[in-house]
Amino acid sequence: MSLTYTTNPESLADNWRLAVNEAGSADGPQWLQSLRSSAAASFLQYGLPGNKDEAWKYTSLRHLEKLKPQLGQGDAVAADLKQDSILIGTSGPGFRLAGGEFTPLAQTHPDGLSLLTLKEAFNESGPEISKELRSLLESLSLKGRGLAFEALNTALLKDGLVIRVAAGVDAGSSNIIWHQGEAGLAQFRNFRVIVILENDAKLRLFEQFQGARDGLGNGQALNIVSQFQLGERSELKHIRIQNETGKNILFTSTEAGLAADSFYRYHGFDVGGALVRHRMACQLAGQGARTELNGAFVLDGQQHVDNHICVDHAVPGCSSEQFFRGVMGGHSRGVFNGKAIIRAGADGSKVRQSNANLLLSDTAEIDTKPELEIYADEVEASHGATVGQLDELAVFYLRSRGLDERDARKLLTSAFCRTVTDRLSDSKLVEKLAGLLDQAMPAFTHGQVGGE
């Protein structure tokens, strides 16, 4: 399956309607078929988002409008991903996706940890689990153009992963490696990830998005929807590392529901991809629930990365933090839109938002928009955003200590990003991530902002 440009462009609706109809599936229980049909109808009704849609006003999809897409999971073609190109260790359990098929990374896993493909979960789970999966899948909102890719993902819902941790179990680490870049293919693939933590359960989830570096890929797209359900006092630590090629497209949509006293902690690192958009929606539905969302993106060339976040404080006594740092060079563009909503009656809520950005060239761009919607009285809330260049006094100081211009600027920029990596407790992972961010740094030349 591949994405190809039309030689005689039809209307967008006709192109995408045909693609959705061709990729449709009638397999699975009746409720799943109905869910797919409803999602397809929603997608075709609203179409792709445009700049008049508030959630997408800074991220253009005009190049997608030219496509006559073929959609699905992709062909089962084995892809060569060298072990030394994998940033995170894969000694633990999990899955690798390559060529449209999931391959287990280990044959065994701890007691209390269940790892299934979505197909296996539909076929092997008992009636209670099937009922829970159905409820979770049907709970995803699909209405409106802003949720077009969630609707598309559901319309083509066939496979994905289901990770479950039993009550009271610390399951350690699980890995998901998403690999794109098979030679000669340009696929638009859709998958679902479901993580369910029962009461008092713990999990550390590593996701890595790695494009092949052989130069043979024609550009691919992944559209992944993740649904996380955290039971009372459970804890999910989620690390997402995106190091795609400059031709690939990635859309992720993550929805997390948090019960009382649960904790969701996210660290996202973006250093690749042509067009990348992460949507994150967290609902703090139980008293004492907490979420901490951290991110760093280092962009160059024509790269575009959009982080779109909404944390909903629905009950009293919850806390959330958003902490993002961006570095843009070349003609790249970054987007940060972080919102926190404190509902009426959610007294005792605590919210902090921080987004700081460095522009390293005259042609780089950042759109930052922290938002607070507060409908309760007794809350603690703060937010802030900055856009600027490197401190020239700091550059001068380092040069006076013997560093040249380039190394001084690189050291300061690296320190700027370390404010995110240092929030991780794993020192070995911190060093690997710092190295990855340093490697992705835009070239420091005389044409940069603040340069000579």
Q: Annotate 257-296 with three-state secondary structure.
A: EECCCCEEEEEEEECCCCEEEEEEEEEECCCCCEEEEEEE
Burial classification of residue 202, based on how many CB atoms lie within 10 Å of its CB (0-12 exposed, 13-18 middle, 19 or more buried): middle
Q: Rounded to the nearest 5°, which phi and psi values hold at 288?
A: 85, 0
Please provide the size of the chain in residues.
452
d(CA 251, CA 414): 27
- The CA angle 261-264-267, to the nearest 5 degrees, is 155
pTM of the predicted model as reported, rounded to 2 decimal places: 0.90
d(CA 200, CA 95): 24
d(CA 84, CA 6): 39
Report which listed range, 87-91, 109-113, 280-284, 435-439, is most confident: 280-284
For residue 450, name the pLDDT band (cuts at 50, 70, 90): very low
d(CA 289, CA 260): 5
d(CA 323, CA 321): 6
> What is the per-residue pLDDT across 249-270, written as a single tens digit (0 to 9) for each?
999 999 999 999 999 999 999 9
For position 215, what pLDDT does the model report?
44
Burial classification of residue 8, based on how many CB atoms lie within 10 Å of its CB (0-12 exposed, 13-18 middle, 19 or more buried): exposed
pLDDT at 206 over 80: yes
User: In whole numbers, what is the pLDDT of the chain averaged over residues?
Assistant: 84
Pair 276, 306: CB distance under 8 Å: yes
For residue 270, the one-letter residue type is: D
Alpha helix segments (H runs only) across 52-204? 62-65, 118-124, 127-138, 148-155
Question: Tokens 């440009």, residue?
Answer: 5
Q: So where are the chain's domains?
A: 4-286
Mean pLDDT of 360-385: 93
d(CA 71, CA 190): 8
CB atoms under 10 Å from CB of 452, counted, come to 7
What interhelical angle do 392-400 and 405-421 show, nearest 10? 120
Question: Tokens 């008992």, residue?
Answer: 126
| Sign of the torsion angle spanned by Cα atoms 241, 195, 93, 152 | negative
> What is the per-residue pLDDT across 161-171, written as a single tens digit (0 to 9) for each?
999 999 999 99
> What is the per-residue pLDDT across 375-424, written as a single tens digit (0 to 9) for each?
999 999 999 999 887 767 776 766 777 777 777 777 788 888 899 999 99
d(CA 204, CA 170): 9
For residue 345, the one-letter residue type is: G
> What is the per-residue pLDDT across 15-68, written as a single tens digit (0 to 9) for each?
777 777 777 666 778 888 899 999 988 988 888 888 888 899 999 888 787 766
